[in-house]
Every structure is written in structure tokens, then in C-alpha cells.
């Protein structure tokens, strides 16, 4: 996949470009349905499949401090879009200036003249341009005038026959509630955080007998506090594990931490990058009477995680 991070560097239109446009936070199964349609249409036209997205997320620019945490940071979003089989990823550096581009100008100058769009794949609620003045009707009107097709993809519904469509907002709520097993069905994969292993408080191995990798979350969505069965990816391999998210009430720290104990693993991974995939929430955080009681519970958590996780 070719990644374009400056639209001015597109010096000639792509061959029979088929494009979908959006933020795609989470790159969930609804997003991938759009990508599938893009790829299929591009194949039919012997053309180029393209995804256009934005960095930073537009809400972060337009609403500044009033924005939710991201399900997928930019690095992971790129990986997931590439894995879907897209030819070109155009990542627009989103600014207030870009947000002020009128919808008609966006269609004519960017989609058609610069990119060479022959088909646009969108959901039924798609809006774009200054003040969201662009909609499906406008897109279809210009499609007839400028010779490109508008393909509207039917939205995928949430779980349990809900009429609600799959959305990044709905997935974010599930993860925030600790419902990571439910979110997996909508993401098409387990929710993942990634980060660098930092110095902890040296209690996991020394006091409890279960050494942990401590991770600093950067601008990411955190699952609800509690204990989770997880898999951990590091040094090119995947391992079973147990993660604790929260404030370590037994030690009365009142400091938020994300700690993962990797099963059957003894390597030094300080300052190494790791990825933690959340499989299932096991229990709430709990304040134990003493370290011995906490250690016994961690052993039970590990046994339960071994039974749940398959690699």
C-alpha cells in the first residue's frame, strides 16, 4: 500500500480511482465493508482502490479538548487499512483551513481533478465539506455531471438484532464498559493497546511473585478498570497473559496503571514495544486484606486466563 500524507504530491490522477472517505477510527467491520466494496469496484474497473482519512481526527481540531480517546492510533489504523488490501491511503493533515473547503470545491478539485475519481463508496449518512454542506444528493448530482458513480453501502447492524448501526462511538462505549468480548465481534479482532514497557514499582515479581510489564497509554481508549485475560505480542511472538487496569487498591496507590503479566515468559522487555490484546474481562479490581490474599487471587486469574485463551 502506498501512503500519501501530502495531497499536493499527487501529481497526476490515478487510473479509474475508486475511493471511500472517513475517519475510520477502530477500522471496524463496518469500515471494512466499505473497503471491500472499494476493492471490488476498482477490480471491475481495472483501477485503483483508495482510502482517504484524516490525521489528527477532525473532532480534535474542531472541538479541541472536547473529544473522545481513539480506538486506534494512526500507526495501527495504517496497518489495518493495509491489511484490508487497499492500494492507496491518502492521509489528509486535517486543519481548520481544510475544514473550510466548500463541498463543491472538494468534489471538483480534489476528488475529480487531482485524484481522478470514477467511483465514491460511502454510507447513507455521509456528509462532507464546509459545515457538512455536502451530502449524498450533492455527491450524486456532481457524479452525473463529472462522470463518477456514487455507491451507497448498506450499514451493518449492532449485536442482538439491534437497529443501531455499528459505529466507532458504540464500540468505544463497549470497551469503556469493559465489554471487550462484545467489542471483538464488531471490530473483527480483539481490542488492542500498544506501548513501551516502562519502569514500574517493582512489586509484581518481588512482592507478588508475578512480574508485570507496565505500559503508559498515549491518547488511547482504556477499557474499564479490572482484570482481563489478554494476549501479549512482543519480540515477534504472542503469549497468554493477564492484565490489570486501575489503581491497585490493595496498595492504596491511587495511581492509574496498565500492567500485564505474561505467562511462561522471563525475558527482559524494559523499553521494548509490546501490544496487548484484550480477550475477556475476568473481574473488578478489589482491595485484598494482604499481599498473600492478592497473590492467591492472581493465581486464580492466571488459571482462568489459561483456560480462556487459545493462541
State pLDDT tens for residues 251-309.
666 788 899 999 999 888 888 999 999 999 999 998 888 888 888 999 999 999 999 99
Identify the CATH number of the domain in which residue 232 sits.
2.40.30.30
* Dihedral angle of Cα 134, 137, 138, 139, to the nearest 10 degrees: 90
148 with 20, same domain: the answer is yes
Identify the CATH number of the domain in which residue 56 sits.
3.40.50.620
Which among 133, 153, 173 is the end of a domain? 153
188-224 burial: b if 16+ Cβ within 10 Å, else e: eebbbbbbebeebeebbeeebebbbbbbeeeebbebb
Number of C-beta neighbours around residue 278 at 10 A:
22
* Residue 167 located in a structural domain: no
pLDDT at 207: 45
Q: Who contacts 215 (Cβ-Cβ below 8 Å, separation ≥6)? A: 193, 195, 196, 197, 198, 258, 259, 260, 274, 276
Cα gap 175→184, rounded to integer Å: 9
State pLDDT tens for residues 123-154.
988 999 998 999 999 999 999 999 999 999 98
308 CA to centre of own chain? 24
Cα gap 278→222, rounded to integer Å: 11
Report the DSSP beta bridge partners of residue 4: 90
* Residue 181 located in a structural domain: no
State pLDDT tens for residues 68-97.
889 999 999 999 999 999 999 999 999 999
What are the CA-CA distances from residue 112 to residues 85, 109, 215 (Å)? 23, 6, 44
27 with 141, same domain: the answer is yes
* Residue 179 located in a structural domain: no
pLDDT at 164: 73
89 with 38, same domain: the answer is yes
Among 211, 217, 204, smallest CA distance to 276 is for 217
Strand ranges in the chain using DSSP code E only, listed in sequence order: 2-4, 17-21, 48-55, 88-93, 117-123, 149-153, 191-198, 213-215, 226-234, 237-246, 257-262, 273-283
Question: Between these two residues, 209 and 113, which has the higher pLDDT value?
Answer: 113
100 with 200, same domain: the answer is no
pLDDT at 200: 59
* Residue 301 located in a structural domain: yes
Report the DSSP beta bridge partners of residue 197: 215
Per DSSP, helices labelled H in the chain are 29-45, 58-62, 74-83, 96-99, 103-105, 136-146, 168-176, 180-187, 291-308
pLDDT at 219: 63
48 with 102, same domain: the answer is yes
pLDDT at 288: 85
* Residue 214 located in a structural domain: yes
pLDDT at 204: 47
pLDDT at residue 209 greater than cutoff 70 = no
* Residue 162 located in a structural domain: no
Number of C-beta neighbours around residue 60 at 10 A:
17
Give mean pLDDT, residues 11-16. Answer: 96
State pLDDT tens for residues 28-68.
999 999 999 999 999 999 999 999 999 998 988 888 777 78
97 with 207, same domain: the answer is no
Name the least confident of 104-108, 109-113, 128-132, 241-245: 128-132
106 with 223, same domain: the answer is no
147 with 199, same domain: the answer is no
* Residue corresponding to grid cell 486543519: 95
Report the DSSP beta bridge partners of residue 77: none
204 with 293, same domain: the answer is yes
What are the CA-CA distances from residue 149 to residues 18, 41, 143, 207 (Å)? 9, 10, 6, 64
234 with 287, same domain: the answer is yes
Question: In this structure, what C-alpha cell is assigned to residue 14?
Answer: 490515478
Cα gap 222→175, rounded to integer Å: 7
Q: What is the rounded end-to-end Cα distance, in angstroms, of the chain?
A: 28
State pLDDT tens for residues 148-207.
999 999 877 665 555 578 999 999 999 999 999 999 999 999 999 998 998 755 554 444
147 with 217, same domain: the answer is no
Number of C-alpha atoms within 13 angstroms, CB side, residue 311? 13
What domain count does the chain have?
2
* Residue 129 located in a structural domain: yes
* Residue 99 located in a structural domain: yes
pLDDT at 201: 55
Residue 121: domain span: 12-153
115 with 222, same domain: the answer is no
Among 279, 269, 82, 261, smallest CA distance to 178 is for 279
Amino acid at each position: 500500500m502506498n501512503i500519501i500524507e501530502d495531497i499536493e504530491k499527487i501529481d497526476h490522477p490515478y487510473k479509474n480511482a475508486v475511493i471511500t472517505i472517513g475517519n475510520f477510527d477502530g477500522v471496524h467491520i463496518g469500515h471494512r465493508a466499505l473497503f471491500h466494496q472499494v476493492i471490488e469496484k476498482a477490480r471491475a474497473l481495472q483501477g485503483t482502490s483508495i482510502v482517504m482519512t484524516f490525521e489528527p481526527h477532525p473532532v480534535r481540531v474542531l472541538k479541541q479538548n472536547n473529544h473522545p480517546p481513539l480506538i486506534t492510533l494512526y500507526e495501527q489504523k495504517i496497518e489495518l487499512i493495509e491489511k484490508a488490501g487497499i492500494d492507496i491511503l491518502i492521509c489528509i493533515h486535517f486543519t481548520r483551513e481544510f475544514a473550510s473547503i466548500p463541498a463543491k470545491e472538494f468534489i471538483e478539485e480534489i476528488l475529480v481533478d487531482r485524484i481522478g475519481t470514477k467511483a465514491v463508496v460511502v454510507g447513507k449518512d455521509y456528509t462532507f465539506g464546509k459545515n457538512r454542506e455536502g451530502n449524498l444528493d450533492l455527491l450524486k448530482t456532481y457524479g452525473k455531471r463529472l462522470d463518477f458513480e456514487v455507491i451507497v453501502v448498506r450499514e451493518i447492524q449492532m449485536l442482538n438484532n439491534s437497529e443501531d448501526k455499528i459505529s466507532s462511538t458504540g464500540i468505544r462505549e463497549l470497551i469503556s464498559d469493559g465489554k471487550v468480548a462484545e467489542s471483538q465481534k464488531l471490530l473483527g479482532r480483539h481490542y488492542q493497546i500498544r506501548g513501551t514497557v516502562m519502569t514500574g514499582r517493582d512489586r509484581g515479581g518481588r512482592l507478588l511473585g508475578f512480574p508485570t510489564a507496565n505500559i503508559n497509554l498515549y491518547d488511547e481508549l482504556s477499557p474499564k478498570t479490572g482484570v482481563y485475560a489478554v494476549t501479549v505480542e512482543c519480540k515477534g511472538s504472542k503469549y497468554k497473559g493477564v492484565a490489570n487496569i486501575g489503581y491497585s487498591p490493595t496498595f492504596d496507590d491511587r495511581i492509574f496503571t496498565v500492567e500485564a503479566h505474561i505467562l511462561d515468559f522471563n525475558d527482559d522487555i524494559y523499553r521494548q514495544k509490546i501490544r496487548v490484546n484484550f480477550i475477556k474481562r475476568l473481574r473488578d479490581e478489589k482491595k485484598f486484606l494482604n499481599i498473600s490474599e492478592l497473590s492467591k487471587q492472581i493465581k486464580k486469574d492466571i488459571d482462568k486466563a489459561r483456560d480462556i485463551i487459545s493462541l
